[in-house]
Amino acid sequence: MTRVLVTNDDGIEAPGLHALARAAVAHDLDVTIAAPERQSSGASASIVAGEEEGRIAMEARTIAGLEKLPSYAVRGGPGLIALIAAHGAFGDPFDVVLSGVNHGANVGRAILHSGTVGAALTGGLNGAWGLAVSLDVGMRPEVFEWDAGAATALGVLPFLMSLERGSVVNLNIPNSPEHRGVREAPLAPFGIVQTTLSERGDTHIRLAVEDLPNVPDPGTDAALLAEGYATLTGIEPVSHRPLGYGS
């Protein structure tokens, strides 16, 4: 049976995490949940941990409706969780790292900063298939279609597993019971929101998140998501380019 780690960056109590785990169980996958004990959005692939005498702190949890699943709250971000999972922290290494369902879209090159994406990339770097899943809830959502998003993710999983091990994809889903289909899309130059400096004092700063004023480039993940499609983008854990130095 395919072993699946379900993690996220919104924390162990997040409804998107629970929806993704339920969907994976419904597809007869061998599921373990391990997620940050608290919100870790923006953690990227960080492996910084809350340590006690050099040991990473974690505890078993029981999640309502998922009582039969081994579940752990870890004092660290999702990238760290995917890393320690690859080294046997939760039993045999996993075949798949499912990360999400994230509260908010992860599109454009700004996915560099996403803990949701960071976990999937770390899983891929260590030989698992990685799937980062995000729901485009916008700034002021009235409803959250977590189950619909999770169902789309599990529908994409067979395609992902048809690729070579270590492949990683980023999936964004409209916050709707239905969407127009899944489209492969390149990353937009930017995301659909931007981080700005909203306050600066002598001893502190404050950041704010705002909608971008510009229209995303046609055909990119940001544009297609805005048009009602779920978007799928292949991403690589680490890449390089030749520089021609010394030639």
pLDDT at 212 over 80: no
Predicted local confidence at residue 213, as pLDDT = 53
User: Contact at 8 Å (CB) between 97 and 5?
Assistant: yes
Give the separation between CA 42 and CA 203, rounded to whole angstroms: 22
Percentage of the residues of the chain whose pLDDT score is greater than 70: 90
Domain range 3-187+218-235, CATH architecture: 3-Layer(aba) Sandwich (3.40)
Per-residue pLDDT tens over the stretch 217-233: 899 999 999 999 999 99
Extents of the domains making up the chain: 3-187+218-235
Phi and psi at residue 120, in whole multiples of 5°? -65, -40
Q: Biggest alpha carbon distance in the chain?
A: 61
Q: Pick the more confident residue, 42 or 242.
A: 242
Q: What is the mean pLDDT of residues 179-201?
A: 79
Determine the average pLDDT of the residues in 154-173.
Answer: 98
Around Cβ 217, how many Cβ atoms within 10 Å?
15
At 196, the pLDDT band (50, 70, 90 cuts) reads low
Cis geometry, peptide bond prior to residue 101 (ω within 30 degrees of 0): yes
Alpha carbons 149 and 8: distance in angstroms, whole number: 14
Q: Helix, strand or coil for residue 44? A: coil
> What does each C-alpha distance from 41 to 8, 57, 85, 201 come to in angstroms?
9, 19, 19, 24
Between residues 46 and 70, which one has the greater pLDDT?
70
